[in-house]
Amino acid sequence: MNEIKITFIGGGNMGEAMLSALLDKGLSTPQAISVSDIDEARRQYLEQEYSVAVMGSNRLAVTKGDVVLLAIKPQNLAEVMAELNGQLKSTQLVLSIIAGARINTLRLGLKHSRVVRAMPNMPAQVGEGISVWTATAEVTEQQKEWANSILGAMGKVIYVDDEKYIDMATAVSGSGPAYFFLMVESLVDAAVNLGLPSDMAQELVLQTLLGSGHILQKSDKSPAELRRMVTSPGGTTAEALSQLEKGGFHDLIMQAVSAAYNKAKRLGS
């Protein structure tokens, strides 16, 4: 990967997470990376923090990379596509992590056919993310390897051959961290309400979440089986789960993920 030149269009949080991961894992070097961002303060920060080339011109930036990584906000996509329309070399790979941005939208807006669309998630910032991605037929096998390596620097990767799965992944893994954060918030509030000090409540909840996640990863049992193992008939866990069931916890999660999925589809329409 060291010889592959990568241009980041947008230097926001997820773009920085990818940049940091590539450098930390030794998959690229500062000399092979350039970043374009409209915010001068952000450019200065990225240059000082990572020693990469920075610039304010997207058109100039795309001349530098074998891979052009679109890490901008969805609301800025139309403007950036208009700016870059027809500016890319046919051999360059465009890798988009823009939520909701359809491959066909990118192909038409950029007049470019070699496109990878990916959905990473927030834990990528600590190397524990998961990215679901797909590619157009024109993307070469070597470019697929590049994409897989870039995304893999942030955690696990799943390749899909149908773009429809990207919006589904957006609703589950892309938005998913927020669901867990809300659960943690709620558990901490409940613990404090019982009388536990807030710092102790936070530690108890976080370690319980982390430990439970590790068990799920390492066990050959399903989540339902593990839940039953923790739940003694007539015990405290059974009492708590009964309240969650009465409140429609399962159905609420189903509705929330469905709402996120429908929103992801609308963003791309």
pLDDT, residue 268, reads 74
What average pLDDT is seen over the chain? 94
Which tens digits make up the pLDDT trace of 88-110?
999 999 999 998 899 999 999 99
CA atoms within 13 A on the CB side of 117: 25
Q: Is 243 left (phi over 0), alpha (psi -120 to 50) or beta?
A: alpha
Domain boundaries, the chain: 6-162, 176-267
Give dist(CA 168, CA 119) in Å, integer. 10
Binning pLDDT at 50, 70 and 90, where does residue 128 land?
very high
Predicted local distance difference test score (pLDDT) of residue 58: 94
219 sits in the region (left: phi over 0; alpha: psi -120 to 50; else beta) called beta
pLDDT, tens digit (0-9, with 9 covering 90-100), for 214-234? 999 999 999 999 999 999 999
Whether the predicted pLDDT of 2 surpasses 60: no
**pLDDT at residue 74 is higher than 70:** yes
CA 211 → CA 19, 166, 207, 217, distances in Å?
29, 29, 6, 10
CATH class name, domain 6-162? alpha beta
Q: Are 133 and 116 in contact (CB under 8 A)?
A: yes
- Give the CATH number of domain 176-267: 1.10.3730.10
Give, in order, the Cα–Cα distances in Å from 100 to each of 63, 114, 267: 26, 18, 5
Q: Report d(CA 107, CA 215) in Å as an integer.
A: 42
Q: Kindly report whether the global pTM for this prediction surpasses the value 0.85.
A: yes
Which stretch of DSSP H or E encloses residue 42? helix 40-50
Q: pLDDT for 147-161, tens place per residue?
A: 999 999 999 999 999
129 exposed, middle or buried (CB, 10 Å; 0-12, 13-18, 19+)? buried
Q: What average pLDDT does the segment 118-133 reach?
A: 93
* Run of H or E including 115: strand 115-119
Note whether 132 and 169 are within 8 A (CB).
yes
pLDDT at residue 269, as a whole number:
64
Instruction: Note whether 73 and 12 are within 8 A (CB).
Output: yes
Q: Is the pLDDT of residue 1 over 60?
A: no
Chain-centroid distance, C-alpha 242: 34
**pLDDT surpassing 70 at residue 192:** yes
Query: What confidence score (pLDDT) does residue 172 get?
Result: 96
- For residue 261, the model assigns a pLDDT of 93
Q: What percentage of the chain exceeds 90 in pLDDT? A: 88
